[in-house]
Amino acid sequence: MNKTIEELHAMLQNEEITSEELVKEALEKSHYVQKYCNAFVTIMDDAKGGKVTDSLLSGIPFGIKDNYATKGILTTGSSNTLKNYVPVFSATAILNLEKHGAIPVNKTTMDEFGMGGTGTTGHTGNVYNPWDLKRMCAGSSAGSAAAVAAGVYPFALGSDTGDSIRKPAAFTGIVGYKPTYGMISRYGLFPFASSLDHCGCLTRSVKDAAIVVDAMKGIDAKDETTWDSKDIHLYESLDGNVSNKKLFYIKEIANIDNYKEASEELREHLKNFHAKLDLLRKKGVTIDEVSFDEKLLNAIPSVYICLSCAEATSNMSNLTGIIFGERGAGDNYHDMIKDYRTHGFSSLIKRRFVIGSYILQKENQEKYFVNAQRIRRLIVDKMKELFQTYDGLILPVSVGGAPYIDGSRDYITNSETKVLEEHLQIGNFGGFPSITIPSGFINGLPVGLNITGNCYDDANVLNMAYALEEEMPYKNQIAKIKEDENERV
Amino acid sequence: MNEYKAVIGLEMHCELKSNAKVFSGAKNAYDVVPNVNVSPVDLGLPGVLPTVNKECVKKALMMSLVLNCTQPEELYFDRKNYYYPDLPKGYQITQMHAPVGINGKIKIDMGDYVKEVLIHDIHLEEDSASLEHYSDASLINYNRAGVPLLELVTEPCFSSAMEAVKFLEYMTLVYKYCDVSDADTKKGQIRCDVNVSIMGKDDKVLGTKVEIKNVNSFANVYEAINYEIKRQSELKMANRYDEVLQETRRFDEESGTTKRMRSKVDAIDYKYFVEPNIPKYKISKEYLQSIKEKIPLLPLERKEKYVGELGLSVKDANIIIKNKDYANYFEECINLGIDAKVAANWLIVQILGFLNKMDISIQDFYLKPELLKQIISSLEEGKISSKQAKEIFNKSISEEKEPKNYITNDNEQISDRDKLLGVITNILENNKEQIKNYFLGKTNLFDYFVGQVMKETKGKANPSLVKVLLNEELLKYKEK
């Protein structure tokens, strides 16, 4: 299972291995990883191997984040509100993968409804990073990241509203890719913030990400924000030729001079990042340092909180326990709903609902919600302007490796590095294609960098990531879990 | 009480006719069995997304055009957020920022005068589920959840309950004419909110507005408005106008009064924002034009045509326009060359009489205009009597056979002058005594002679010709 999709496909076709064997191995590995990382809500022990066809994904096992509706299979969104919820339909992205013959083997743990970045807020408990069990994977696609990094299968599905695919990918040393908004149907994806939500995948190589998204994508009559991408062939477009491509990085984020209190880790991380830029330059890529309005950059986290909480408040108003979920106690519908929501949601989510409601209140809408939308627009416009000149934006992800789970509460509070932590949200503001790839290790922990390009330019973005990946030794790397359980918190 | 004038505004909700619901693929149909026309989208299951039913948009835009509204350049929707068991998603998809129509107007026939009613806006939204309350439980029926609803909001421009009801009745008719809705109040397809305030005859400032929610029949609208005007006027006269609060009330059918629901202070903040799952759609001028071309002639326009061009009485025209199918039947008759008054007369007297008696719709009526024409033509050509015409009308319907089958030579009227003369002279020859009495003043014997002729000809003699010939022949006897 430490192979790429292409390799597995060849082995299946040559009958060196059967799909049944792959599925069995993935299930065994799932139980193993579950023991150390707590990465799954459901392991589908009755999963069977499938037919091998010409499709690269046929017969290959994969994982599904637990916010994709799967018909007949428990789908919880890692929330107590839906701890026994079994959908009556499957998400379009899942159906598309199943059409290609891929075999789902587990449902992965996440931050409750995707609202969190630590992998510690799901109703089944913390997800642990397979590289270091005391550390988080980040989130919200924590279980998918842990499972792919630990080699359970070559790919798992994630969703990304702020950085929920791309940050866990960095912290677990794998590839995380969310394509252009609307390329993959969101029908069946439990919504967090509809205008920011993206489907995507976590893999161990850029090529695998291309193969998976090629299968997931496509216009869908059930999601009116999808668009026709039949002329985009991500896998076939990967040729590694990036000469004459132009990238930029944002000075205010990636230049060490901005950080007066820079930690040794951050220094190392940025140094490593710039070293990787040189690898691209050697392949003929021009990379410029571009200054970006600091006011706009500093507004990113607040804009994200305003918009995502507001939409989330409304999106999750269907969770009342009246039609689905377990009925709350009470003499009237009001008390029933209140009881269900009070006991069902974690405090983190409830805090976000309060923020969202406050922002949407008539007297506050203009000040918070509408202004946040305006700043979103300004940031996106600026990015689109830069994309006229550049093929993409390249930036380091986070301040370094995965933080300790213990310290998770205080994490992301240092104001100096706040933008460095949150800049991936730009990709959600604009619906831009965005991919994180592993770029090295700091203190034994994987770190990543991210390339984000203009809408519909997915093939170009992936190709640049592919070219850089080729120059680094991290492709298809697998975390080896240190089995001393005491390491786990 | 006469020193005050009432200011009334209406919100009229109308369920649209369509194959599917407005944001899901479930069937949009009234069904007596609960929870059969339901899709995951209607239940707001996690992960569902709305898809806009273009047919509904088209119908909404048609009504926007009918109401002479301004249409937005881009079509999009908003979420209205609130918790209620009949609202599966916890929000209703509606239009707040850019309704399909704003600032419209339409002429309404108020009987003695025509009033131009001002339209604030008309918007497309989804209906909620319906609730049935029992003593120990409430049941939810999701058949209605997601049914397309058009909400029409007027300016406060009505001054009486009568005007408000005339408007509602006329709009119901317009919805039916445009085929956008069955507009059946019995099925709850039309529901109204009414707001009422009063002010002094010379006041410039509007009084305190009271809203009455969910009034489900026009009779109740009428009663509710009058009750409110009375209630508010009495308080004002008693110098207690400060007791008229800006609030939401409901109409209590049993007592015929309105009852307080909630005050303005308790008004819900619906936290409207743009529905992010539906992209904005451009509404092109060409698209609007194509819809405009499908708008049929409206009832008031037809009435003006029937009276002005076709010479019908206002009373007859009113009867015909009351139902689009009557009007269409009538117009088909005209197109077939039937005289307007004759067609109107047949339609109103014979056909509507029959439909009422049988309780069927004109669409299920066998005798289509071209068949009716067979009867009318034969009558005009003098081939049949009006009595026979009615008989043929009834026979044709009951046996569902074309009228021409009954207009045989055997049935035909005898209009042959010589043939009738033979019969008449024969009868007169045998009734010398009666002729004598006739000339002595017993003039009603004329009818006796007619009767004899009819008897002899088995009722087939052309009566008017018989009368002419009889007069001529009798004169001959007088001369003798």
Nearest chain A alpha carbon to B46: A190
Stretch among A130-144, A409-423, A452-466 having the lowest mean pLDDT: A409-423
When scoring A67, A68, A83, A222 by the number of chain B Cβ atoms within 10 A, the one with the most, hence best to mutate, is A222
CA-based torsion, B153, B158, B161, B164: positive or negative? negative
Q: In the prediction, which pLDDT does A101 show?
A: 98
Which helix H or strand E contains A107, and what residues bound it? strand A103-108
3-class DSSP state for residue B407?
Answer: coil
Residue A409's pLDDT band (cuts 50, 70, 90): very low
The answer to whether A79 contacts chain B (CB < 8 Å) is no
Q: Between chains, do A89 and B45 touch, taking CB under 8 Å as contact?
A: yes
3-class DSSP state for residue A133?
Answer: coil
Residue A488's pLDDT band (cuts 50, 70, 90): low
Q: State how far the Cα of B314 lies from the Cα of B128, in Å rounded to an integer.
A: 41
The question of whether A251 is a catalytic residue gets the answer: no
Q: In the prediction, which pLDDT does B441 show?
A: 85
Residue scoring higher pLDDT (A415 or B210): B210
Q: What are phi and psi of B182, to 5 degrees?
A: -80, -15
Q: Check: CB of residue A163 under 8 Å from CB of residue A202.
A: no
Q: Between chains, do B46 and A77 touch, taking CB under 8 Å as contact?
A: yes
Contact list, A89 vs chain B (CB under 8 Å): 40, 45
Chain B residues near any Cβ of chain A (below 8 Å): 40, 43-52, 79, 81, 83-85, 88-91, 138, 140, 269, 271, 273, 276-279
List the single residue in A68, A314, A334 with the smallest CB-CB distance to B81.
A314
Radius of gyration of the CA atoms of chain A, in A: 21
Q: State how far the Cα of A189 lies from the Cα of A200, in Å rounded to an integer.
A: 11
Nearest chain A alpha carbon to B92: A314
Residue scoring higher pLDDT (B438 or A293): A293
List the single residue in A188, A221, A337 with the smallest CB-CB distance to B83.
A337
Q: How far is B80 from chain A (nearest CA, A)?
A: 9
List the single residue in B43, B85, B89 with the smallest CB-CB distance to A317.
B89
Write down the pTM of the prediction. Answer: 0.90
Cα–Cα distances in angstroms (integers) from residue A284 to residues A234, A470, B133, in the given order: 22, 14, 73
List the single residue in A69, A193, A320 with the smallest CB-CB distance to B90.
A320
The answer to whether A314 contacts chain B (CB < 8 Å) is yes
Q: Would you state the structure tokens that stand for residue B336, as one six-digit string?
A: 């077939």
The question of whether A71 is a catalytic residue gets the answer: no
The pLDDT tens digits of the residues spanning A23-70 come to 999 999 999 999 999 999 999 999 999 999 999 999 999 999 999 999
Q: What are phi and psi of A49, to 5 degrees?
A: -65, 160
The answer to whether A371 contacts chain B (CB < 8 Å) is no
Contact list, A316 vs chain B (CB under 8 Å): 90
Nearest chain B alpha carbon to A336: B85
Nearest chain A alpha carbon to B83: A317
If you average pLDDT over residues B386-400, what whole number do you get? 89
Q: Between chains, do B46 and A334 touch, taking CB under 8 Å as contact?
A: no
Q: In the prediction, which pLDDT does A410 show?
A: 45
Q: How far is B389 from chain A (nearest CA, A)?
A: 58
Fold that domain A5-245+457-487 belongs to in CATH: Amidase signature (AS) enzymes (3.90.1300)
Q: In the prediction, which pLDDT does B268 show?
A: 87
Q: Would you state the structure tokens that stand for residue A402, as one six-digit string?
A: 């995965």
Q: Between chains, do A87 and B46 touch, taking CB under 8 Å as contact?
A: yes
Q: In the prediction, which pLDDT does A313 show?
A: 97
Contact list, B43 vs chain A (CB under 8 Å): 323-324
Q: Check: CB of residue A22 under 8 Å from CB of residue A8.
A: yes
Contact list, A324 vs chain B (CB under 8 Å): 43, 45-46
Q: Between chains, do B46 and A365 touch, taking CB under 8 Å as contact?
A: no
Contact list, B269 vs chain A (CB under 8 Å): 361-362
Q: In the prediction, which pLDDT does A485 show?
A: 58
Q: State how far the Cα of B108 lies from the Cα of B158, in Å rounded to an integer.
A: 11
The pLDDT tens digits of the residues spanning B85-119 come to 999 999 999 999 999 999 999 999 998 899 999 99
Give the number of A-B residue pairs with CB atoms closer than 8 Å: 102
Ranges of each domain in chain A: 5-245+457-487
Q: State how far the Cα of B91 lies from the Cα of B79, in Å rounded to an integer.
A: 6
Q: Is the pLDDT score of A412 beyond 50?
A: no
Cα–Cα distances in angstroms (integers) from residue B364 to residues A233, B368, B446, in the given order: 58, 10, 45
Q: How far is B43 from chain A (nearest CA, A)?
A: 7
Q: Check: CB of residue A155 under 8 Å from CB of residue A3.
A: no
Contacts of A181 (CB under 8 A, 6+ apart): A198, A225, A431, A455
Q: Check: CB of residue A158 under 8 Å from CB of residue A409.
A: no
If you average pLDDT over residues A388-398, what whole number do you get? 98
Q: State how far the Cα of B446 lies from the Cα of B478, in Å rounded to an integer.
A: 14
Q: Is the pLDDT score of B31 beyond 70?
A: yes
Nearest chain B alpha carbon to A364: B271
Q: Between chains, do B46 and A360 touch, taking CB under 8 Å as contact?
A: no
Contact list, B53 vs chain A (CB under 8 Å): none
The pLDDT tens digits of the residues spanning A278-301 come to 999 999 999 999 999 999 999 999
Q: State how far the Cα of A162 lies from the Cα of B352, in Å rounded to an integer.
A: 67
Q: Cβ atoms within 10 A of the Cβ of B294, count?
A: 11
Q: Check: CB of residue B135 under 8 Å from CB of residue B87.
A: no
Q: How far is B85 from chain A (nearest CA, A)?
A: 7
The pLDDT tens digits of the residues spanning B112-169 come to 899 999 999 999 999 999 999 999 889 999 999 999 999 999 999 999 999 999 999 9
Which of B422, B419, B467, B415 is CA-nearest to residue B446?
Answer: B467
- Please give, one letter per residue, the 3-state secondary structure of A411-466: CCCCHHHHHHHHCCHHHHHHCCCEEEEEEEEECCEEEEEEEECCCCCHHHHHHHHH
The answer to whether A87 contacts chain B (CB < 8 Å) is yes
Cα–Cα distances in angstroms (integers) from residue B117 to residues A102, B69, B181, B200, in the given order: 62, 12, 21, 22
Would you list the DSSP string of A270-312?
HHHHHHHHHHHHHTT-EEEEE---HHHHHHHHHHHHHHHHHHH
Which of A54, A52, A36 is CA-nearest to residue A484?
Answer: A36
Q: Check: CB of residue A230 under 8 Å from CB of residue A218.
A: yes
Domain architecture of chain B: domains with CATH: 4-287 (no CATH), 295-405 (no CATH), 417-479 (1.10.10.410)
Q: In the prediction, which pLDDT does B332 show?
A: 96
The question of whether A24 is a catalytic residue gets the answer: no
Q: How far is A222 from chain B (nearest CA, A)?
A: 6
Q: Is the pLDDT score of B412 beyond 80?
A: no
Residue entry with tokens 């986290």 = A301
Percent of chain B beyond pLDDT 70?
98
Nearest chain A alpha carbon to B137: A332
Angle, alpha carbons B410-B411-B414 (nearest 5°): 90
The answer to whether A360 contacts chain B (CB < 8 Å) is yes
Residue A415's pLDDT band (cuts 50, 70, 90): confident
Percent of chain A beyond pLDDT 70?
97
Which amino acid appears at position B113 of this protein?
Answer: Y
Q: Which of A30, A79, A144, A164 is catalytic?
A: A164
Contact list, A223 vs chain B (CB under 8 Å): 49, 51, 277
Q: Check: CB of residue A93 under 8 Å from CB of residue A157.
A: yes
Q: Is the pLDDT score of A321 beyond 90?
A: yes
Which of A316, A292, A303 is CA-nearest to residue A368?
Answer: A303
Q: Between chains, do B83 and A317 touch, taking CB under 8 Å as contact?
A: yes
Cα–Cα distances in angstroms (integers) from residue A375 to residues A299, A307, B274, B447, in the given order: 8, 11, 17, 98
Q: Is the pLDDT score of B463 beyond 90?
A: no
Residue A411's pLDDT band (cuts 50, 70, 90): very low
Q: What is the dihedral of CA A407, A408, A413, A418, to 10 degrees?
A: 120
If you average pLDDT over residues A117-126, what whole number do you get? 96
Q: Between chains, do B49 and A224 touch, taking CB under 8 Å as contact?
A: yes
Q: Is the pLDDT score of B473 beyond 90?
A: no
Contact list, B88 vs chain A (CB under 8 Å): 318, 323
Contact list, A320 vs chain B (CB under 8 Å): 83, 85, 90
Residue entry with tokens 């923020």 = A355
The pLDDT tens digits of the residues spanning A243-265 come to 999 999 999 999 999 999 899 99
Q: Which of A65, A217, A245, A475 is catalytic?
A: A65
Contact list, B278 vs chain A (CB under 8 Å): 224
Which helix H or strand E contains B220, and what residues bound it? helix B218-237
CA–chain centroid gap for A374, Å, is: 25
Contact list, B271 vs chain A (CB under 8 Å): 313-314, 357, 360-362, 365
Contact list, B50 vs chain A (CB under 8 Å): 224
Count CA atoms within 13 Å of residue A250 on its CB side.
24
Q: In the prediction, which pLDDT does A396 show?
A: 98
Window A:228-247, CB contacts with B under 8 Å: none
Q: Check: CB of residue A229 under 8 Å from CB of residue A217.
A: yes
Q: Between chains, do B46 and A75 touch, taking CB under 8 Å as contact?
A: yes
CA-based torsion, B361, B366, B367, B368: positive or negative? positive
Cα–Cα distances in angstroms (integers) from residue A295 to residues A133, A252, A292, A420, in the given order: 38, 11, 9, 14
Nearest chain B alpha carbon to A76: B46
Residues in chain B: 480
The answer to whether A334 contacts chain B (CB < 8 Å) is yes
Query: What is the end-to-end Cα distance of chain B in Å, rounded?
Result: 81
Q: State how far the Cα of A132 lies from the Cα of B396, in Å rounded to an integer.
A: 92
Residue A408's pLDDT band (cuts 50, 70, 90): low
Q: Would you state the structure tokens that stand for residue B362, as one six-digit string?
A: 């004109």
Q: Is the pLDDT score of A117 beyond 90?
A: yes
Mean confidence (pLDDT) of chain B = 93
